[in-house]
Amino acid sequence: MMGKAKIVAPASITFDEAFRTRLRDLLVWRRDVRRFRRDPLPAGVVDGLIELACLAPSVGLSQPWRFVVVDDEAIRAAIRGNFAACNAQALAAQDSERAGLYARLKLAGLEEAPAHLAVFADRSTAQGHGLGRHTMPEMIEYSAVTAVHTVWLAARAQGIGVGWVSILDPTKVAELLRVPAEWKFIGYFCLGYPLLDDTVPELEQMGWEERRVPSSVTLKR
């Protein structure tokens, strides 16, 4: 009887200081983009980003991420309508001090962005055989988010901006996209070339919030 094929580990890769500096630049320039040029992305770019996203870590090697590329204009129009309704509700929930500022924020690029991508987590997947999920089943969703971040960085490395649209009704989005009931909605993303580039988040520029320093979110025991 023949045994299993031997797995040969590749030679280790060393990343030098120049690479680490460029990696930090990539992280700094990764911004949530809401203002896009309308230029279409080259053919195959979104598929390439999804391929890279599938290299992300996942609990138990479950790879629970599921991607829906939204090209249909009728569905896009329905998504925009859902955003408008949800955004109006969010505006109404703001206190008097914040309402005016909230109304001036641009919170989505759904109209301008040439590419739309919805991401879900398949909570019913048998892949991974449940490893790492018995005490923390939410690791399935967390794993899908790692794929999102991978897309974000890979897109930025190609000069493409990504905007995460969270002001949506998850149930309505799932219905519009006709996905299985077991898929948990993670986020809806706009992709395209940024109209402007900046290292400072737009919400910080507008005075909505300030970035915290690392020491303020770190405990040492």
Query: How far is the C-alpha of 182 from the C-alpha of 178, rounded, in Å?
Result: 12
pLDDT at residue number 153: 97
pTM for the whole structure? 0.91
The verdict on residue 203 lying in a domain is: no
Task: Supply the DSSP symbol for 191.
Answer: E
The verdict on residue 147 lying in a domain is: yes
Query: What are the C-alpha distances in Å from 31 to residues 89, 110, 153?
Result: 26, 16, 10
The verdict on residue 157 lying in a domain is: yes
The verdict on residue 177 lying in a domain is: yes
pLDDT at residue number 195: 93
The verdict on residue 63 lying in a domain is: yes
The verdict on residue 30 lying in a domain is: no
The verdict on residue 209 lying in a domain is: no
**Among the listed residues 67, 24, 25, the one whose alpha carbon sits nearest the alpha carbon of residue 46:** 67
The H or E element spanning position 87 is: helix 73-92
Query: How far is the C-alpha of 201 from the C-alpha of 141, rounded, in Å?
Result: 25
pLDDT per 10-residue tile (average), the chain, 221 residues: 64 90 95 95 97 97 98 98 98 94 95 98 96 96 98 97 97 98 97 92 91 93 95
CB 49 within 8 A of CB 151: yes
Structural domain range at position 142? 45-196
pLDDT at residue number 5: 63
pLDDT at residue number 140: 97
Reading the block at residue 158, the tokens are 């190609």
pLDDT at residue number 3: 58
CB 119 within 8 A of CB 168: no
Query: How far is the C-alpha of 160 from the C-alpha of 154, rounded, in Å?
Result: 9
* C-alpha atoms less than 13 angstroms from C-alpha of 183 in its C-beta half-sphere: 22
The total number of structural domains in the chain stands at 1
The verdict on residue 28 lying in a domain is: no
Task: Supply the DSSP symbol for 36.
Answer: B
Query: What are the C-alpha distances in Å from 141 to residues 35, 112, 186, 187?
Result: 28, 28, 7, 11
CATH number of 159's domain: 3.40.109.10
